[in-house]
Chains A and B, each alone.
Chain A
Amino acid sequence: EIVMTQSPATLSVSPGERVTLSCRASQSVNSNLAWYQQKPGQAPRLLIHGAFTRATGIPARFSGSGSGTEFTLTISSLQSEDFAVYYCQQYNNWPPRYTFGQGTKLEIK
């Protein structure tokens, strides 16, 4: 099983700040990496796929980078609606054994 490790677990930031979240895979997943945002009481929302491609309707302040085993999600200027939990997910295997990271919680400083 490919283990996805996210860091940090919690990040306290102020609105308007730039923030970078990290995700590491225990083995290469090429660029088969997605990022999701989840707010309390809601289902996850797809932000990024293919490591850097924004999903439909996702603001340009969200950007993804990386390949292989190291990935980052950057939010260029945090808005109030961005405080949430962020998950990375790899979808590299076939037959599928997709796995998610444990999440990074963005909280207001």
Chain B
Amino acid sequence: EVQLVESGGGLVRPGGSLRLSCAASGFPFSSYWMSWVRQSPGRGLEWVAKIKQDGNEKHYVDSMKGRLTISRDNAKNSLYLDINSLRVEDTAVYYCVRTITPGGNGIYAYWGQGALVTVSS
């Protein structure tokens, strides 16, 4: 069974930084592109970032470019998202997601339970 478990969410001050982690199991992690999607009341669902199987190709949403770093550790079956210069509008639930097939399409068949990030002073 595919499982994606996020951690690292919490309350952060504006301007602060955060690392989200996703522990993956139940599938060959190193064979799949992986992504992050976030959801907030104000912005709805928003694709945030994706990373290729070997970590050598990364893509980011334009609105957050320069503040995000997606990375992975295939030996640990783990995905990460570093966010810096956090803003109040970054407050959201961040989901770790996996595509339906190993390729780089955007069909997200598997979602974690989400990690709540709250940016507030």
Give the interface of A toward B (CB within 8 A): 1, 32, 34, 36, 43-46, 49-50, 55-56, 87, 89-91, 94-103
Q: Which residues of A contact B45 (CB under 8 A)?
A: 44, 87, 89, 100, 103
- Cα(A58)–Cα(B15), bound, Å: 43
**Chain A proximity of B58: nearest CB distance (Å):** 10
Extra contacts, 12 of them, besides A44-B95, A99-B47 (Cβ < 8 A), are A1-B62, A34-B108, A36-B108, A43-B112, A46-B109, A50-B107, A55-B100, A56-B109, A97-B62, A100-B44, A100-B45, A103-B45
Interface residues on B, range: 20 to 34
B12-69 residues at the A interface, CB under 8 angstroms: 44-47, 50, 59, 61-62
Tell whether B9 is near chain A: CB-to-CB under 8 Å. no
**Chain B proximity of A94: nearest CB distance (Å):** 8
Partner of A43, one of B95, B106, B107: B95
